[in-house]
Amino acid sequence: MHRHAIAAVIVLVAIASGNPANAQVIRTYNNSTDSATNAINDTSAPCNNRFTRTFSVTGSFSVADVNVGILAAHTYRGDLVMYLVSPSGTRIQLTAGSGSNGAANFNAVFDDEASSSISNYTAGDTATPTTLVPPYNGSYRPASALSGFDGQTAAGTWTLEICDQYAQDSGTFYQATLFIAENPTNYADLSLAGSVSSASPSVGATISYSLTVNNSSASNQTALAVQVSDVLPAGVSFVAASGTGTYNSTTGTWSVGNLAPGQSASITLTVVVTASAGATVANYAEIIASSVADVDSTPGNNSTSEDDNATLNFTVGGTRVAGTAPVLSCPAGTTLFDWDAVSWSAGATSATYSLGSLGTVGFSITNPGTYLSNSTYGGQSPTRQNVVNGGYSPAQYSLMQLVNLTSQNDVVTTTISLPVAVSGAQFRIFDVDYANGQFADKVTIIGKLNGATVLPVVTNGVTNYVIGNSAYGDSTSADGSANGNIVVTFSSAIDTVIVSYGNHALAPADPGQQAIAIHDLAFCNPTTVLSVSKISSVISDPVNGTSNPRAIPGAVIEYCILISNSGNGTANTVVATDPLPGNLTYLANSMMSGTTCSGATTAEDDNSTGADESDPVGASVTSSSFTGLVSTIAPGVSVAFKLRATVQ
């Protein structure tokens, strides 16, 4: 195909949002002058005969970033050593060459932000006279960082040097593309740094995170309304913040304010360590907002390769012992689901059971991997067994999941669906542990209430540590040991429990067989919380009618009595009474009922007999009092009664 020898293209890259960031002009320069066949070679001493191609850059602007792409055919890529030289003479090595890399051809771009090093470019590639680039087939970090060009004046001649270290193989150049990002005219170069006061605090220790955001003295703009996001991780509990600006512990946003060039602002976040011994707690903070562009980073993009973020880690120190679980407080008593009292069909992935007066509880398990069969553990999994028994004596039964997952990211999910919302729950999971080269158990537990997530307290064992609502195995527990136990405690209402079981980073990419077992579950019986309120309004009076009426003799007053259940249990046979004041006379046939005061439109007769008394809501009145009767009030439901009386 026909090529133009040299071409320049200017591309404006900007973020179209309320937070301008890294709004840079990227200038692209192509040199597509094909060399003679096999022109890339070494005919004398190694690297004395360098092949070169140049790029002519016009216009005086400052370099923010440089990438370079190369398309060349060569039968042994490891022969090649490449350099890029700026107009000021800075010479940066792109490839060091490798005698062991026998892959053919070069079709890649060098980029400091690439995820992989050029040393990993070991597969053969495509490079012919008709191969269209850019885009190039791969992106790799160069042998030396191209950031060495940052801040230089771009104008002048840039030179690509290619050296063939060995004479046995030769190559042909087809094209190279130089990408230069230009700093914006107006910018504020913000950076973020941070530290943690202790690298190995103990459980319960008070530590602090320190963050400092800086606007470089080289910036030509004041950054307005700067914000930093630092959502504190599970494993710490917020105590206080001090320093410049304000910190919202709910959203994790530090509102810094304005930063002039050369100005910095700092904040200290004081926290208490809640993770158990051995846990590594990672805290990530990043600049998320500024009024002007940043020359080398994009706020809020979660990139760890830029200078607008900080990762602050610590590992909880001390000798690990099994934690002490919270005491489950159940004012209305508990209902126990006991695996010793039920059966489970080996290999079944779902089952339902009676949960006493509460109704029917359901278990459902999904597994992206394979369920295993082992006669020692009750046969085909999932199964009820008592070999892995959490150290109980005599041994108690539990529901085991013996699985083989194909990926470190696979998760077995157990969903426990309750018939009604309960006030709390507590249960153990056995055998959360680790085997080197085999598996690294990770168990995460959440609850649900009407679809909203409820988080439990998870208490660690000896062979696992806890961060938030997840437990991580890091040493081995025997089948009959309590060391692998964790305790899960819900202190608020739930109607569903979800247990997610898989692996964490210590596991191999393809884990081996592993298992946990879910033990008996204690549920707090539902409780009812009834409240009653009464409001009144003057409907009319003999003087003003319905226009701004007053409570004078002859006036009609309407009362509404509202009964609400804010608990998680159903209230049965609710009776409400209200004495009538002596100066009021009930207005016959004025009683109505409904779920709200404004919606109370169902007529109720005045006596305590008849069909309306046997339906779910009934009411009656005497000369001295009102009585309302409701057969059931479900959680979150209200019942309203309205009646009228005349002022004497």
Residue 612: the pLDDT is 61
Please report which confidence band the pLDDT of residue 296 belongs to, taking 50, 70 and 90 as the band edges.
confident
The structure's pTM equals 0.71
The pLDDT score that the predictor gives to residue 15 is: 33
* Burial tier of 257 (Cβ tally within 10 Å: 0-12, 13-18, 19+): middle
Residue 303 pLDDT: 85
Peptide bond into 616 cis (omega under 30): no
**Residue 6: pLDDT band with limits 50, 70, 90:** very low
The pLDDT confidence band at residue 62, using thresholds 50, 70 and 90, is confident
- Give the model's pLDDT for residue 271: 98
Average pLDDT taken over every residue of the chain? 92
Q: Average pLDDT of 294-318?
A: 90
pLDDT at 421: 95
- The pairing of beta strand 464-467 with beta strand 398-404: unpaired
pLDDT at 547: 96
Inform me whether the pLDDT recorded for 333 exceeds 80. Answer: yes
Query: In which band, very low, low, confident or very high, does the pLDDT at 76 lie, cut at 50, 70 and 90?
Result: confident
Q: Percent of the chain having pLDDT more than 90?
A: 81
**Tell me, what amino acid is at 391?**
G
* HSE-up of residue 488 (Cα within 13 Å, Cβ side): 27
Quick: pLDDT tens for 502-554: 999 999 999 999 999 999 999 999 999 999 999 999 999 999 999 999 999 99
On the question of pLDDT at 17 being above 50, the answer is no
pLDDT of residue 168: 75
Beta bridge mates, 159:
54, 85
At 471, list the tokens: 């437990």
Confidence at residue 245, expressed as pLDDT on a 0 to 100 scale: 98
User: Which pair of structure tokens corresponds to residue 637?
Assistant: 């439901």
For residues 453 and 446, the answer to whether their CB atoms sit within 8 Å is yes
The predicted pLDDT at position 102 comes to 78
Q: Please, which pLDDT band fits residue 185 given cuts at 50, 70 and 90?
A: confident
pLDDT in tens, 107-122: 999 999 899 999 999 9
Q: Measured in whole angstroms, how far is the alpha carbon of residue 191 from the centre of its chain?
A: 24
Residue 186 — very low, low, confident or very high, per pLDDT cuts 50/70/90? Answer: confident
pLDDT at 300 over 90: no
**Mean pLDDT for the stretch of residues 150-169:** 89
- pLDDT confidence of residue 16: 32
> Which domains are delineated in the chain?
6-182 (2.60.120.260), 190-315 (2.60.40.1530), 334-524 (2.60.120), 530-647 (2.60.40.740)
Compute the average pLDDT of residues 177-201.
Answer: 93
Pairing of strands 370-371, 398-404: antiparallel
**pLDDT of the residue at 11:** 44
pLDDT for 20: 43
Percent of the chain with pLDDT over 70: 94
CA distance 10 to 179: 9
- Residue 24 is predicted with a pLDDT of 63
Instruction: Please tell me the predicted confidence (pLDDT) of residue 182.
Output: 86
Distance CA 391, CA 439 (A): 22
Q: pLDDT band for 611, please (50, 70, 90 cuts).
A: low
Q: Which of 133-137, 291-295, 546-550 has the lowest mean pLDDT?
A: 291-295
